[in-house]
Structure formats: structure tokens, C-alpha cells
Amino acid sequence: MGTSIILVEHPAEHALFDGALTCDVVLPARFAAGARAVMQAPSEALLKGLAVAEDVRGDDPEERKEATPSQQRIEAKLDLVLSLLGRLARRHEDTLPVTALRWSHRGVRLDTVSSAVHSAEAVGVVMLQPAAWLSDQIELPVKVLDHVEGTHGLHHLWLQFEGLNAGLAEAMDRHLFRLHRRQVAEARQQLHATRT
């Protein structure tokens, strides 16, 4: 039985993703075990600011074609400045490892090389960078649903969101919708490119 079959049939996979808008992405992310107070307002503010920035930027590949070369240069320079500021701000902090993850409004599955074993019902915080172009992160309180060892040194960790306030939950839903819309647009573009 392959790892993909194990993941599809795993009860935690059903609990987090069945019937939910789900995105498969590769982003910097990490789980930190242990109970601690999570300030949700900064994460909510970051996701809301990201929504405004991405709506203005037009991250949908089809919408970006309408931007003038001058606008694209300004956006590229702004991306570089934001990336530099993020690196400077985090110079003395641990950086998050780039991780494959599946994300819905109920929780995330991290596919990580970390071999730490986490018992079911353990609590903690998942930290993740919601956008590749912005070096900042959100922190979401979670509990462990399950943990299994996969192939090629990968470990699969299912984390369910716990106690998100309404504002943060709504901002995350909007972010997931934008991610999903972008993935659909990119897949449509790739399909069109292969047919031409």
C-alpha cells in the first residue's frame, strides 16, 4: 500500500478535508508543540492586509496580463524590498522550513522531514508563511489529530485548528479561496499552453 493511498484513506484526512475547499501548497511552515497563548490579531491583520495587496496586485495570472510594464517593474521592486525587510526582521530568528502542506478552514496536514512524534490531542501552534512573496508568518492554534511516518523520510502530521476567532477564521477562508482560485487559473493556463 503506497503513501498516497494511506493519506487518502486516513481518518484525519477525511476529518480535515472532506467537503472543504482545500489547497495543496508548498510554503514555509512548522508545528511547535506545547500550550501557549496565541495572539490572533496580528495573524488576522496580516491576512487582511495580504488580501488587499493581492486584490490590488491582481495575482490571478489572467488579470496580471493587463498590468503595464511600468506597473510590473514597480511590483517587482516592491516584492524585493518586502523580501529584504522580512529577511532583516528575521535575521536572528529561526526560519521556517519549506514544507508541502494541505490546507482547509478546518486544519492542515504538514508533510515534513521532522521525525518528532506528536501524540494525538497534543496542542500547539502551526506557524506558516501565507504568501511566497511576503516574508512574514501567521500563527494558528491547533491540536494534533494524528501523525504517521511516510516514505522517503517524510512524516505526515494532521493538525486541527482550535479556538480561532471569527475575524481570523474569515480572513483565512478568504485567503484559501484566493489560493484555490489562483491554482485553478494556473492549471487552466498550463492546459491551454499544452494544447497550443
Total-model pTM: 0.78
For residue 192, what pLDDT is reported? 77
Residue whose C-alpha cell reads 511590483 in the numeric block: 75
For residue 79, what pLDDT is reported? 66
CA atoms of 149 and 155, how far apart (whole Å) = 4
CA atoms of 119 and 21, how far apart (whole Å) = 27
Backbone angles phi, psi at 20, to 5 degrees: -110, 150
Closest by alpha carbon to 29, among 86, 92, 87, 99?
99
Which residues, at least 6 apart from 111, have a Cβ–Cβ distance to it below 8 Å? Answer: 99, 100, 101, 150, 154, 155, 156
CA atoms of 85 and 91, how far apart (whole Å) = 10
Q: Per-residue pLDDT tens for 62-114?
A: 444 566 777 767 776 776 676 667 666 655 556 888 999 999 999 999 998 87
Which residues, at least 6 apart from 18, have a Cβ–Cβ distance to it below 8 Å? Answer: none
CA atoms of 104 and 140, how far apart (whole Å) = 13
For residue 54, what pLDDT is reported? 75
| Ranges of the chain whose pLDDT falls below 70 | 1-8, 56-67, 72, 76, 79-80, 82-84, 86-94, 115, 117, 196
Closest by alpha carbon to 82, among 136, 31, 42, 157?
136
